[in-house]
Amino acid sequence: MTDKAKLDVGGKTVELPLVVGSEKEVGIDISALRQATGAITLDYGYGNTGSCESAITFLDGEEGILRYRGYPIEDLAEKSSFLEVSYLLIYGELPTPQQMKDFNRNIARHSLLHEDMKNIFQAFPPDAHPMAILGSVVCALSTYYQHGDETHEEGLNQSIYRLMGKLPTIASFAYKKSIGQPYIYPRTDLDYCTNFFHQMFAVPTEPYPVHPDIARALDVLLILHADHEQNCSTSTVRLVGSSQANLFASISAGISALWGPLHGGANQAVLEMLEAIKAGGGDVKKYVAMAKDKNSSFRLMGFGHRVYKNFDPRAKIIKAHADRVLSLLGMDDPLIHIAHELEEAALKDDYFIQRKLYPNVDFYSGIIYRALGIPQNMFTVMFAIGRLPGWIAHWKEMNRSDKNRIGRPRQIYTGSTKREYNPIHKR
């Protein structure tokens, strides 16, 4: 393969260098395009545009491959823990036993919030969406730790420990606020996921035991959500961080991007779809037919993926855990029965098979969260907790790169050409 691409624009020919990744992905470096030809590229939604080089996550949508730092997601979900995966994403290598011990300890000791921050929670209305609270409070953390120097490793590590430790606490406080229960403080003697369940569902008057298999199911869910290359929220974190905004502000921006129903809110949309099918009589075949009807407004949520043109590798893993959790809990939920029927019908239907519309990670994650007692308005919050180490890793990678520039996309202007201004009394 040549190391240059030639492009002819209005009679002007420019040679653009090719960039080849470690997995043989090929990109055309168009950095000099506008200067050489006066033209820019136009790519709606950036579906064909690479904004950076990254060593964090490899994704092959055609083959259904997902790897963190070279490790297959299947191996990590089976053998690793969420905090070990977090360390891998953020620091580039799997930790030694001592590094893992220190990482766990530092995150646990930074899980408490400043007592004054409880006043922030009190200021929100009872029906405030947890994602609004999460984004606001994470941004507010920058006011409590405004003197940290994230340009040095020690200062950055402190911000990392604080975010990893405090995000589950912020999430659980948001939930407790919504139901009028006392806030439950974190416990450093519990593992990450067990502690989260404790903060979410315990009350001061009695203990709240958590089955290890339940905690493990959540741990795997968080691993599967930990990073997914240059998606909307991760790109937002990098774009905001490119201005040298601090890590707290950048993560808050990522939370806002994740909130959208086309991104982190997709698993909530799956449950809402299942409820609509139930309310409509539960006839799954009827709704499958509606999904295939171009004239119907009904959309089948949780099937297909913008990147994966094959089976979402995360969906295979999460399905097994969904079945295990439902069996353990002895759930007899009509929505879960509808989900199973829908999955079976779609996987046997040529319409979905030909279009490779397989169940994705959002289809199963909402079912598990529901079984675990997580309310629907907290689903996207759970996504944010899982995605946090990926956001941190990308912010760190970008800000430690000598190629980093402030993000500044171009545009094709389609508005009015030059017009003469008339004073208001002449209009």
Q: In what order do the strands lie in the sheet with 57-60?
A: 57-60, 65-68, 71-72
| 159 and 187 in a common domain | yes
CA-wise closest residue to 221 among 320, 133, 134: 320
Query: Range with the lowest mean pLDDT among 60-69, 347-356, 379-388?
Result: 347-356
| 164 and 33 in a common domain | no
Q: Is 17 in contact with 4 (CB distance < 8 Å)?
A: yes
Q: Which domain holds residue 49?
A: 4-65
Structure tokens at 305: 């993926």
| 271 and 242 in a common domain | no
Please say if the pLDDT value at position 370 is more than 80: yes
| 226 and 244 in a common domain | yes
pLDDT > 70: what percent of the chain?
A: 100
Q: Is 357 in contact with 300 (CB distance < 8 Å)?
A: yes
| 163 and 214 in a common domain | yes
Please say if the pLDDT value at position 193 is more than 70: yes
Q: Is 193 in contact with 355 (CB distance < 8 Å)?
A: no
Inside any domain, residue 425: no
Residue predicted with more confidence, 3 or 193:
193
| 213 and 107 in a common domain | yes
Structure tokens at 253: 């921006």
State the Cα–Cα distance between residues 359 and 322, nearest whole angstrom: 13
Confidence of residue 344 (pLDDT cuts 50, 70, 90): confident
State which of 65, 93, 108 marks the end of a domain: 65
Inside any domain, residue 173: yes
| 243 and 126 in a common domain | yes
Inside any domain, residue 42: yes
State the Cα–Cα distance between residues 263 and 394, nearest whole angstrom: 18
DSSP 3-state assignment of 16? strand
CB atoms within 10 A of CB 315: 24
Q: Is 170 in contact with 141 (CB distance < 8 Å)?
A: no
| 225 and 160 in a common domain | yes
Q: Which residues are catalytic?
A: 305, 362
217 backbone φψ class: left, alpha, beta (φ>0; ψ -120 to 50): alpha
Inside any domain, residue 386: no
Rounded to two decimals, the pTM is: 0.93
| 146 and 35 in a common domain | no
Domain count, the chain: 3
Inside any domain, residue 41: yes
State the Cα–Cα distance between residues 239 and 241, nearest whole angstrom: 5
Confidence of residue 1 (pLDDT cuts 50, 70, 90): low
Considering the chain, what is the average pLDDT of its residues?
A: 92
| 356 and 315 in a common domain | yes
Inside any domain, residue 418: no
Structure tokens at 418: 């030059």
Inside any domain, residue 411: no
| 271 and 249 in a common domain | no
pLDDT tens-digit readout, 141-173: 999 999 889 999 999 999 999 999 999 999 999
State the Cα–Cα distance between residues 342 and 236, nearest whole angstrom: 34
pLDDT tens-digit readout, 68-83: 999 999 999 999 999 9
Q: Amino acid letter at 56? A: I
| 105 and 42 in a common domain | no
Inside any domain, residue 414: no
Question: Which DSSP string do the residues of 59-94 spell out, in sequence order?
Answer: EETTTTEEEETTEEHHHHHHH--HHHHHHHHHHSSP
Sign of the CA dihedral running 21, 24, 28, 32:
positive
DSSP 3-state assignment of 182? coil
- Please report, for the domain that includes residue 239, its CATH number: 1.10.580.10
Q: Is 57 in contact with 67 (CB distance < 8 Å)?
A: yes
State which of 27, 44, 65 marks the end of a domain: 65
Question: Which DSSP string do the residues of 290-305 spell out, in sequence order?
Answer: HHH-TT-----TTB--
pLDDT tens-digit readout, 377-406: 999 999 999 999 999 999 999 999 999 999
Most confident of 304-313, 362-371, 394-403: 394-403
- Please report, for the domain that includes residue 284, its CATH number: 1.10.230.10
Q: Which residues pair with 72 in a beta bridge?
A: 67
Structure tokens at 329: 């809990």
